[in-house]
Amino acid sequence: MLSQEEERKLLHNAAPFLQDLMRFALSTGLRPGELFSLQWSNVDWENGVLNVFAAKTGKTRTVPLNAEARKILESWLLGRKNEHVFYNHGTGKPFVDLKAGFALACRKAEIEGVTWHTLRHTFASRLLDRGVDVVTVKELLGHSSITVTMRYTHTNLDSKKAAVANLESR
User: What positions carry a catalytic annotation?
Assistant: 31, 56, 117, 120, 143, 152
In angstroms, rounded to a whole number, what is the distance separating the alpha carbons of residues 97 and 78? Answer: 23
| H or E segment and range at residue 64 | strand 59-64
In angstroms, rounded to a whole number, what is the distance separating the alpha carbons of residues 136 and 128? Answer: 9
Q: In what order do the strands lie in the sheet with 49-54?
A: 43-44, 49-54, 59-64
